[in-house]
Amino acid sequence: MTYDVIIVGGSFAGQSAAMQLARARRKVLVVDGRKPRNRFAEASHGFLGQDGKAPAAIIAEASRQLGLYKTVTQLQGEATEIGRDGELFALTLADGTTQRAARIVLATGVRDELPDIEGLQQRWGKTVIHCPYCHGYEVADRPLGVLAGNPMSVHQAQMIPDWGPTTYFTQGQWEPDPEQAALLDARGVVIVRSPVVELLGEATDLEAVRLEDGRILPLGGLFVAPKTHLTSPLAEQLGCVLETGPTGRFIRVDNFQQTTVKGVYAAGDAAVAMANATMASAAGVMAGVAAHRSLIMPD
Cβ neighbours of residue 255 closer than 8 Å, sequence gap 6 or more? none
Integer angstrom CA distances of residue 94 from 57, 98, 125, 192, 232: 26, 9, 29, 47, 12
pTM for this model (two decimals)? 0.93
Note the pLDDT tens digit of each residue in 163-193: 999 999 999 999 999 999 999 999 999 999 9
- For 102-154, the DSSP string reads EEEEE---EEEE----BTTGGGBTTTEES-HHHHGGGGTTS-EEEE--STTHH
Residues 160/146, Cβ–Cβ less than 8 Å: yes
Q: Report the pLDDT averaged over residues 117-141.
A: 94
Alpha carbon distance 27, 32 (integer Å): 17
Task: Please give the Cα distance from 225 to 273 (Å, whole number).
Answer: 12
What is the band of 42 on the pLDDT scale with cuts at 50, 70, 90?
confident
Contact 270, 109 (CB under 8 A): yes
Residue 46 has pLDDT above 80, yes or no: no
β-bridge pairing 196-200 and 208-211: antiparallel
What are the tens digits of pLDDT across the range 143-158?
Answer: 999 999 998 999 999 9
The kind and range of the H/E element at 27 are none
At 231-282, the pLDDT tens digits run 999 999 999 999 999 899 999 999 999 999 999 999 999 999 888 889 999 9
In whole angstroms, what is the distance from residue 299 CA to residue 282 CA?
24
Q: How far out from the chain centre does Cα 175 lie?
A: 27
Catalogue all structural domains in the chain, each as residue range(s) with its CATH number. Answer: 2-112+227-296 (3.50.50.60), 115-224 (3.50.50.60)
pLDDT tens-digit profile of 208-221? 999 999 999 999 99
User: How high is the pLDDT of residue 49?
Assistant: 83
Q: At what angle do helices 12-23 and 55-66 cross, to 10 degrees?
A: 20
Q: How confident is the model at residue 48 (pLDDT cuts 50, 70, 90)?
A: confident
Q: State how far the Cα of 158 lies from the Cα of 182, in Å rounded to an integer.
A: 10
The answer to whether 164 and 139 have CB atoms below 8 angstroms apart is yes
Mean pLDDT in residue range 224-233: 95
> Mean pLDDT throughout 214-231?
96
225 within 8 A of 124, measured Cβ to Cβ: no
Beta bridge partners of 243: 250
The whole-angstrom separation of Cα 222 and Cα 156 is 12
The string of pLDDT tens digits covering residues 70-103 is: 999 999 999 999 999 999 999 999 999 999 999 9
Q: In the prediction, which pLDDT does 277 show?
A: 87
Q: What is the mean pLDDT of the chain?
A: 94
Q: What pLDDT, on the 0 to 100 scale, is given for residue 209?
A: 98
